[in-house]
């Protein structure tokens, strides 16, 4: 890319429009399962910058908004992928929301601006990036730059780490790559993808996978007056909790990746009836989130848990059932891929510094994309100096990120596809 062309693209990135788009998207409530209205708005935004847009109905009322800017042919194709859903609704219990972030509002408009900052649910994760995608395409269009390959923008439903289990059923629980899984099986395929998850302008080539497990005990229900000598399931579950607590440090040591240790979270416990404490609990369920690294398998984690429960049974006689109800894969991309080189160059051109690498335990739709042949990395804006708080977005980072997206897109899409995709792309599923 010649210097004049680069400078023209950079000056055409409209900061105010990008901020406005971010806030407009954030002002529409879109918790998982309720993405229809924001999908319609995102469709209109993409059409405004000259993209051909389709709404994919993933299920009633839930749409992936997919825009395409056609190239003239022969170049590599690039997808900007981002989720339309938010982890929570701004109408959730205020006490819960206050515990997540101090900046959320409890009445519309949900987003607001103060100086160089945008605040509000979803601006951080990840409506700022969705706005940046559109503004990057707009800058390319206004600069009159010709592309050989296509650019696709995919605003998808159901990415947030949620799933159906037990009595918790319905669209509001169908996340964990739900929309991108539909996307890639219905035409949403490109050579490369950039996901603008909030990495703080750092490049994430790999992230951990996750296993969600349910450990359950069942027994008899007895009235308190007759409970003497009855084995209490909640107390029995504490023995299992103690065994898990002892196992976690060893697991983390053995399963670390690039010096990052996998997180194990005791996510929930449920047992008995709080409205009828005059009965012993006839069930007790424990729910766990276990992160595992690239090149390992969810089956490895299942075996680890089975071994812990087997030891508990041998030592105490307590026999628990184990159910795996999430097995979300890891993602990993080589440094040699062209999307990495393009982002390295673009970041240095915009920020005048090298692009830092990072590995996180959280999941992204990069795992779904890579397993369908799309080479996907994460790079996106979030907070700023001293602020990586939920619901905060630093405008200079947002605008700079938009510029990086525009430059990288032109670079990638004008590479001859046969050259940049000449190496065989293989997936390793792990297993130890």
pLDDT tens string 326-368: 999 999 999 999 999 999 999 999 999 999 999 998 999 999 9
Q: Tell me which residue of 85, 344, 299 sits closest to 205, measured CA to CA.
A: 344
Indicate left, alpha or beta for 324 from its phi (over 0: left) and psi (-120 to 50: alpha): beta
Residue 422: Cβ-neighbour burial (10 angstroms; 0-12, 13-18, 19+) = exposed
The length of the chain in residues reads 432
pLDDT bucket at 3, cuts 50 / 70 / 90: confident
**Domains of the chain, start order:** 3-208+330-420 (3.40.630.10), 209-328 (3.30.70.360)
Q: For residue 120, is pLDDT > 50?
A: yes
Q: For residue 422, is pLDDT > 80?
A: no
Written as six digits, the tokens of 428 are: 């390793």
pLDDT bucket at 427, cuts 50 / 70 / 90: very low
| Cα distance between residue 95 and residue 92, in whole Å | 9
pLDDT bucket at 429, cuts 50 / 70 / 90: very low
The 3-state DSSP composition of the chain as helix, strand, coil percent (nearest 5) reads 35, 25, 40
86 contacts 30 by C-beta, under 8 angstroms: yes
Q: For residue 425, is pLDDT > 60?
A: no
CA 33 to chain centre: 15
3-state secondary structure of 344: helix
DSSP per residue over 240-296, as a string? HHHHHHHHHHHHHHHT-BTTBPPPEEEEEEEES-TT-TTB--SEEEEEEEEEE-TT-
Quick one: average pLDDT of 402-423?
A: 93
pLDDT tens string 153-211: 999 999 999 999 999 999 999 999 999 999 999 999 999 999 999 999 999 999 999 99
| Cα distance between residue 184 and residue 177, in whole Å | 11
| Cα distance between residue 80 and residue 126, in whole Å | 12
pLDDT bucket at 424, cuts 50 / 70 / 90: very low
Give this prediction's pTM.
0.95
| Cα distance between residue 396 and residue 90, in whole Å | 25
Q: Tell me which residue of 383, 328, 334, 346 sits closest to 181, measured CA to CA.
A: 328
pLDDT bucket at 149, cuts 50 / 70 / 90: very high
* Per-residue pLDDT, 431: 38
Could you tell me the CA-to-CA distances from 407 to 255, 378, 381 in Å, in that order? 37, 16, 16
* Per-residue pLDDT, 386: 57
pLDDT tens string 235-261: 999 999 999 999 999 999 999 999 999
DSSP per residue over 199-229, as a string? -SS-EEEEE-EEEEEEEEEE----BGGG-TT
């Amino acid at each position: 890319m010649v210097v004049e062309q680069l400078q023209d693209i950079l000056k055409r990135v409209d900061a105010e429009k990008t901020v406005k788009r971010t806030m407009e998207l954030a002002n529409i409530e879109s918790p998982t399962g309720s993405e229809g209205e924001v999908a319609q708005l995102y469709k209109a935004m993409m059409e405004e910058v000259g993209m051909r847009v389709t709404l994919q109905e993933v299920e009633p009322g839930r749409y992936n908004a997919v825009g395409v800017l056609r190239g003239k042919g022969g170049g590599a194709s690039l997808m900007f992928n981002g989720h339309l859903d938010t982890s929570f609704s701004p109408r959730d219990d205020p006490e819960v929301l206050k515990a997540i972030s101090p900046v959320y509002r409890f009445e519309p408009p949900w987003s607001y601006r103060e100086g160089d900052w945008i605040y509000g649910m979803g601006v951080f994760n990840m409506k700022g990036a969705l706005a940046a995608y559109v503004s990057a395409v707009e800058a390319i269009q206004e600069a009159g730059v010709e592309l050989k390959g296509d650019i696709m923008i995919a605003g998808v439903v159901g990415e947030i780490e949620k799933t159906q289990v037990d009595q918790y059923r319905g669209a509001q629980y169908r996340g964990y790559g739900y929309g991108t899984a539909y996307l890639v099986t219905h035409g949403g395929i490109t050579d490369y993808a950039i996901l603008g998850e909030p990495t703080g302008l750092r490049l994430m080539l790999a992230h951990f996978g996750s296993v969600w497990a349910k450990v359950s005990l069942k027994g008899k229900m007895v009235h308190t007056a007759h409970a003497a000598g009855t084995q209490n399931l909640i107390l029995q579950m504490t023995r299992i909790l103690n065994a898990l607590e002892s196992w976690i440090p060893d697991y983390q040591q053995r399963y670390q990746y690039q010096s990052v240790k996998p997180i194990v979270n005791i996510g929930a416990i449920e047992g008995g009836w709080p409205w009828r404490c005059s009965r012993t609990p006839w069930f007790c369920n424990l729910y766990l989130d276990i992160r595992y690294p690239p090149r390992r398998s969810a089956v490895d984690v299942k075996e680890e848990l089975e071994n812990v429960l087997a030891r508990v049974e041998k030592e105490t006689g307590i026999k628990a059932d184990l159910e795996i109800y999430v097995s979300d894969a890891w993602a990993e991309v080589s440094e040699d891929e062209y999307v990495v080189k393009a982002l390295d160059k673009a970041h240095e051109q915009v920020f005048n510094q090298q692009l830092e690498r990072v590995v996180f335990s959280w999941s992204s739709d990069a795992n779904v994309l890579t397993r369908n042949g799309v080479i996907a990395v994460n790079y996106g804006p979030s907070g700023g100096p001293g602020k990586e708080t939920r619901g905060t977005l630093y405008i200079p980072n947002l605008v700079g990120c938009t510029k990086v997206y525009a430059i990288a897109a032109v670079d990638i899409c004008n590479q001859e596809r046969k050259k940049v995709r000449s190496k065989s792309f293989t997936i390793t599923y792990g297993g130890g």
